[in-house]
Amino acid sequence: MYDVIVLGGGAVGEHAAGSARAAGLSVAVVESELLGGDCSYWACMPSKALLRPVSALAAARAVAGSREAVTGPLAPGPVLDRRDAFVSHWEDGGQVDWLLSEGAELVRGHGRLDGPRRVVVRPAEGPEHILTARHAVVVATGSRPRLPELPGLPGARPWTSREATSSREIPERLAVVGGGVVAVEMACAWQALGSSVTMFVRGEELLRRMEPFVGELVAEGLAAAGVEIRTGVSVAEVRRASAGSTVTLVLDGVGESEADEVLFATGREPRTEDIGLETVGLRPGAWLEADDSCRVGGVDGDWLYAIGDVNRRALLTHQGKYQARIASAAIAARALGGGALETRAAEDTGRWGAHAATADSAAVPQVVFGEPEAASVGLTTAEAERLGYRVRAVDQDLGAVAGAGLYADHYRGRARMVVDLDREVLLGATFVGPGVAELLHSATVAVAGEVPVDRLWHAVPAFPTMSEVWLRLLQKYRQATAPRG
């Protein structure tokens, strides 16, 4: 028997195990593939390893003096070798060592719930194990790429994010379907590696969940790199005669297009169809709805938690790991409380409490890597208005900031902060431009900390850094709200 069983050992499940161990709980992690999951082997790490050389080269090319020293395009071989090193050549020995050093146990195999607090693990070989949890089972089985139901698609062997992050072959022509984060990042990476990339986007914009100017500037950057972006186009059918032959996309009402590979970057679905949800009264295949302490509703007792992609709160590694810390703390507090009502005072599930993942709804930071980068936290203007806030959006041309001008000649970028006019705190901030990723955490601190705008005025940015954009935004906000007369 273990205090906690973590079902799924991706980045999020591993982090839950570490946090639960730190709280003094015994832990077993059940993993059917590589310990470390998508983020380590087929998502964040390999994609960023592919993209970092693209931005390093762009940064050198953006400045007179270093521009002249750059004599050629990216060298694909070393880029792919470096990517392979970042994913430890798809071996998880290092991560297993870490987990064991934390004092957690690893049980390899496919895990399924088998009624309350029980998990049955089917290893690749040998007999099943039955594990029992004293306090909690934490489901962290993640998500997988979601493919649309299109005629011909399964037989056409499309790339998903897995192939796009792990391929060593560079297709001459790569079609990318989708206009979200994976589509944008992978279009940028593969174009730089030598493919001719065409994006097929259903809607009119890229990155629709961010402020509208983000998609515009990102599209401009991709087009400047040579990516063809076709908006307002739906793929109706996919054809590939045989392995190794070209792939044909039949486009709704606008003819056909040929490519050597096609990447479908059309969102995610939960990995819950075969984890025994029916044995505890839940629906297999559904996203797992969790409250702010990440506890799953609809089951008897306080023992089932869901963290990471599988609860759909925010499909990002850092946010899943935050949920892992919150859930582990909540499990430990509830375990100490023993379930008696009078001890529930130990729980701290109020807004911004120790056992509430409040940032999931108020302050999710995200960086879309590429040239340019896009970085945002909190609410967009449209989201804030939809939620009924009275807001003012303040915009600043980043190119007019001295630090940005020094960073790159003819710097193009933009920033926006969204202020709640009633409380005079930031609800959100967005930056787009080369090198803006590292600006983001200042905004996250302001949003999560609900720092009054008047106090931000005293957070003086160093000259001449890009952070001076804060000063410009705050000056504009003051001018706009100053009493007239």
Ligand X SMILES: Cc1cc2nc3c(=O)[nH]c(=O)nc-3n(C[C@H](O)[C@H](O)[C@H](O)COP(=O)(O)OP(=O)(O)OC[C@H]3O[C@@H](n4cnc5c(N)ncnc54)[C@H](O)[C@@H]3O)c2cc1C
Q: In what order do the strands lie in the sheet with 391-397?
A: 365-368, 373-378, 425-433, 414-420, 391-397
Which of 48, 129, 134, 392 forms a contact with ligand X (CB under 6 A)?
A: 48
> Per DSSP, what are the bridge partners of residue 428?
378, 418
Applying CB under 6 A, the residues found at the interface with ligand NAD are 148, 177-183, 185, 202-203, 265-268, 315-316, 366-369
Give CA–CA dist 323/357, Å, rounded. Answer: 6
Our finding on whether 201 is near ligand X (CB under 6 A) is no
Residue 309 to residues 269, 275, 359, 379, Cα–Cα distance (Å) = 9, 15, 15, 20
178 binds, among ligand X, ligand NAD, none (CB under 5 to 8 A by kind): ligand NAD
* C-beta closer to ligand X: residue 138 or 153: 138
Report helix, strand or coil for 166: helix
Q: How far is the CB of 175 from ligand X (least distance, A)?
A: 17
Q: Nearer to ligand NAD by C-beta: 366 or 396?
A: 366
- Binding partner of 106, given ligand NAD, ligand X, none, CB within 5-8 angstroms per partner class: none
CB of 481 to ligand NAD, least distance (A): 33
Q: For residues 244 and 250, give the distance between their C-alpha atoms in angstroms, rounded to a whole number.
A: 19
Closest approach of Cβ 104 to ligand NAD, in Å?
Answer: 26
Structure tokens at 304: 């089932």
Told to check if 313 binds ligand X by CB under 6 A, we report no
Cβ distance to ligand NAD smaller for residue 115 or 232: 232
| Spatial separation of the C-alpha atoms in residues 121 and 112, rounded to whole Å | 6
Q: Which of ligand X, ligand NAD, none binds 202 (CB below 5-8 Å, type-dependent)? A: ligand NAD
Cβ-Cβ contacts under 8 Å for 477 (sequence gap 6 or more): 392, 394, 417, 419, 453
- Least distance from C-beta 9 to ligand X, angstroms? 6
- DSSP, collapsed to helix, strand or coil, labels residue 196 as strand
Nearer Cβ to ligand NAD (113/181)? 181
Nearest to 218 by CA among 187, 193, 196: 187
Q: How far apart are CA 184 and CA 30, in angstroms?
A: 33
3-state secondary structure of 211: coil
Residue (368 or 439) nearer to ligand NAD, CB: 368
Which of ligand NAD, ligand X, none does residue 148 bind (CB under 5 to 8 Å by kind)?
A: ligand NAD
Helices then strands, each counted (H, E), the chain: 15, 21
Pairing status of strand 110-113 against strand 118-122: antiparallel
The DSSP letter of residue 33 is S
Binding of ligand X at residue 39 (CB under 6 A)?
A: yes
Stretch that binds ligand X, among 73-81, 88-96, 317-325, 334-342 (CB under 6 A): 317-325
Shortest Å distance, C-beta 276 to ligand X:
9
Answer yes or no whether residue 257 interacts with ligand X by CB under 6 A: no
- Nearest distance from C-beta of residue 169 to ligand NAD, angstroms: 21
Q: Judged by CB under 6 A, does residue 461 bind ligand X?
A: no
The binding site for ligand X (CB under 6 A) comprises 7-13, 30-33, 37-39, 43-44, 47-48, 110-111, 140-143, 161, 165, 182, 271, 275, 308-309, 315-318, 320
